[in-house]
Structure 1
Amino acid sequence: MTLDPIHVENIARLAYGIAGDVDTTDHEDLAGQVWTEWLPELYRDGRVVVEPVADHERGLAPIDDVALAERPFGTVHGLDSGTINPTTFKNGLVVDVAHAAMAADPTDLDLHRDRTIVATVHAGDSTADFDGEWTERDAGHTRQRVLHAPRVNRYAEGVVHALALYLAEGTHALDHADEVDELLVLDGPIYPKELFTWQDRDPELGELAREAKPRAVVEKYVRLVERFVERDVPLAGFVKNPSSRTIVRSLDRKGFESPWPDDTELFTRLLERREGAGDTAG
């Protein structure tokens, strides 16, 4: 279906009308209240949800100065893992394949050649066994294995996706951790957040999260963080499209009516540059 210019204009008018009906003038004051009264140490069910790493403060800096600042690290390593997306076959198998790689700036071609590949399989047949050991290919530059996912009645696609993705990434990061001297940036969270959400999403997934294979994947990330802490090397995770609602959900449970759909919108309100605020960045 094609859209003529008049259709695009009509859609834009509808969107403008929706935006114009929303009054956000008090959102900044609410965000400030959350920052001052709740975020220094927010609890949920007796556990700390979020707390500051250092001092609880916000800062402003000229945007041009930030953009032109000297690089604090001479060498930066980055790691990413991606999958082909889960595929369901006629024989009942659900398969996903993940592939992890690390790169560096300045470039290190031998490092970039190293890969970790994991194929995760879910089978409806309880007698099947696809688990395999790690094997090497490409003159030792590629490590790969097949992981047989624990059986579930639902969520098979999500399970094979998460286990393949995080096992490949965590294994590759841990195997190459000692090659990082200054900074490692993960494309995604430092910990396998999706596995942690299983506990709250569904009782069956909650049971699965306590099984040996998911716990072994999580353990790799714990060991990775411990390794970097011991070596005093920075480790960061970069989440491009965060969708967490942990903070706003915790605020709702405490009777604070949050106008933000997720945590990202809250921090956007707290940190974004506004007109009239000058050329500064939060």
Structure 2
Amino acid sequence: MTLEPVHIKEIHDMVERIDTCLKGDDLDDGTDNVSSILDMLKELNYNGKTVLRSIGPVKRGRVSIEKMIQADDPFDTSYSCDSGSTTAKTFDNGLYVDFCHCAMASTPTDLDIHSMRTIVAATYIDSKKISVSTGDKWESFDSGTSRKKIINIQAGLLKKKANDMVHDIALYLCESEHILQMLERMEDDGFFIMDGPIYPKRLMYWMVVESDDVKIRDDPHCKKILQNYIDIMDHHLKKQKALVGFVKNPEDMQVMQTLKKQEIDIDLPWMLDAQFFKNALFLEKAGVKRRDANKYITYTNWFMQPNQFYEKMLNTTYPLFEGIKHQFPAEDYSLTFFMVYVPKMNAIFKVEAPYGLVKNDEMRWQLTRKVLYDIALNGIPKTLSKADSVAKIQLSERKQIINRFRNSRIDTSYNDIRWGETDER
């Protein structure tokens, strides 16, 4: 039985009461302080360390979608890499496995680039008696255009979060290996857009955290992934080739958490950084009427987040990072970003790049302009959507892959039976 009219009526009443609370003067006062908060982002420090620093003045800009569409594409050729996954599956015998399939797309379309694929199967089983046949070398197929590899995570490294870690290792090894293989096929004056962050953040977090439950820092595949991403950045920094990461669902909280730790007389109702930036870029605050909002895109300047990720790793003597090679000063690997708000989608995106690229004023402007052009033209950049469609593993295909296991039965729960699986990856 679904909700009856009486239930809907009462829920509507609850909605009205909650919504009324969010209409008061206190909330308005908080959002009116956006400019003051933005001023603090010129250089945000905590405990003697810089958490965020503005590259150039802190500003909010807006562009007309119509004018952007009529402008010239800043880059004649675009490339994007994406991957599809079965997601990590668990079997009754203790096996965890995830298949990741990676492809690259280009605009204009290059069928030779589209046809090249990389497939990684990551496995884990917490038993020293059972070994998975892997092999050290890549195996080629499809007339040499594609390659595949099975990897096994050492038993005993994962007491918790096995699904997450098996998935991340499969995903980031597959994507980074495919990008490395394709680097010389991308034109030097082209534009490369990665799907998501430019660094494997969750994997990196668990590699540096001292944990007896998640010890992937001892897994050689993870160190290989770190080196792969440095090699990708080195290639683009050396040739000054355009590269960004397009984050569709930014979940970072560092800016808001840092501001909340400081003694400031400003109410901060936002948990996520994206919530604040979305509010800061809301067009009505810039004097644009709601009926005209869909005609514009708003965006921030670029920001730098120093002392994080590879910059921090490359400056440390921690044994995990011994032997990892890099060609440029550690600061060049720092994460930088700007935020873009699209009113007609009511969506905010985070666009990342390494500092070694965006410290060049001309390159920084070219990256900004290209992203704004692509969003104005298609919402989600066209090449990114093409890569997603090429790499995606459909639900029917995922089921077919898992059903090929003859000696292992999928470990199902009641929720799996009740809700099933959706075709969203």
Taking structure 2 as the reference length, the TM-score comes to 0.60
Q: Displacement, 1:4?
A: 6.0
Q: Displacement, 1:47?
A: 4.1
Alignment of 1:167-246 (within 5 A): 167-181=173-187, 182-198=190-206, 203-204=211-212, 207-209=215-217, 211-246=219-254
**What CA distance in whole angstroms lies between the structure 2 residues aligned with 1:223 and 1:46?**
31
**What CA distance in whole angstroms lies between the structure 2 residues aligned with 1:4 and 1:134?**
58
Q: What's 1:32 paired with?
A: 35
Q: Displacement, 1:61?
A: 2.7
Aligned length: 281
**Cα gap change, 1:5/1:95 in structure 2, threshold over 3 Å: closer, same or farther?**
same
Q: Displacement, 1:255?
A: 4.3
Correspondent of 1:163 among 153, 161, 169: 169
Highest RCO, 1 vs 2 (Cα 8 Å, sep ≥ 6)? 2
Alignment of 1:126-141 (within 5 A): 126-130=128-132, 131-132=134-135, 133-141=137-145
Alignment of 1:33-182 (within 5 A): 33-37=36-40, 39-130=41-132, 131-132=134-135, 133-150=137-154, 151-181=157-187, 182=190
The farther-off stretch of 172-181 and 107-116 is 172-181
Q: Displacement, 1:3?
A: 4.7
User: Which deviations, in whole Å up to 9, do the C-alpha atoms of 1:33-52 show, x marking residues without a partner?
Assistant: 22101x22223455433323
* Local SS of the residue matching 2:151: strand
Q: Displacement, 1:207?
A: 4.2
* Local SS of the residue matching 2:249: coil
Letter in 1 for 2:17: G
Contact preservation (8 Å) 2:98, 2:170: yes
Q: Displacement, 1:57?
A: 2.6
Q: What's 2:334 paired with?
A: none
Q: Displacement, 1:127?
A: 4.3
* Local SS of the residue matching 1:107: coil
**Cα gap change, 1:4/1:101 in structure 2, threshold over 3 Å: closer, same or farther?**
farther
User: Which deviations, in whole Å up to 9, do the C-alpha atoms of 1:104-160 show, x marking residues without a partner?
Assistant: 011111111111111111111034443433111111122111121242111111110
Letter in 1 for 2:91: F
Q: Displacement, 1:180?
A: 2.0
**Cα gap change, 1:21/1:170 in structure 2, threshold over 3 Å: closer, same or farther?**
same
Taking structure 1 as the reference length, the TM-score comes to 0.88
Correspondent of 1:251 among 250, 259, 266: 259
Letter in 1 for 2:15: A
Fraction of identical pairs, as percent: 30
Contact preservation (8 Å) 1:162, 1:195: yes
Q: What's 2:278 paired with?
A: 268
Structure 2 alignment gaps of length 5 or more: 299-425
Q: Displacement, 1:202?
A: 7.1
The farther-off stretch of 264-273 and 154-163 is 264-273
**What CA distance in whole angstroms lies between the structure 2 residues aligned with 1:72 and 1:35?**
29
Contact preservation (8 Å) 2:100, 2:170: yes
Q: Displacement, 1:258?
A: 2.7
* Local SS of the residue matching 2:58: coil
Contact preservation (8 Å) 2:42, 2:57: no
Aligned-CA RMSD value? 2.5
Contact preservation (8 Å) 2:196, 2:246: yes
Structure 1 alignment gaps of length 5 or more: none
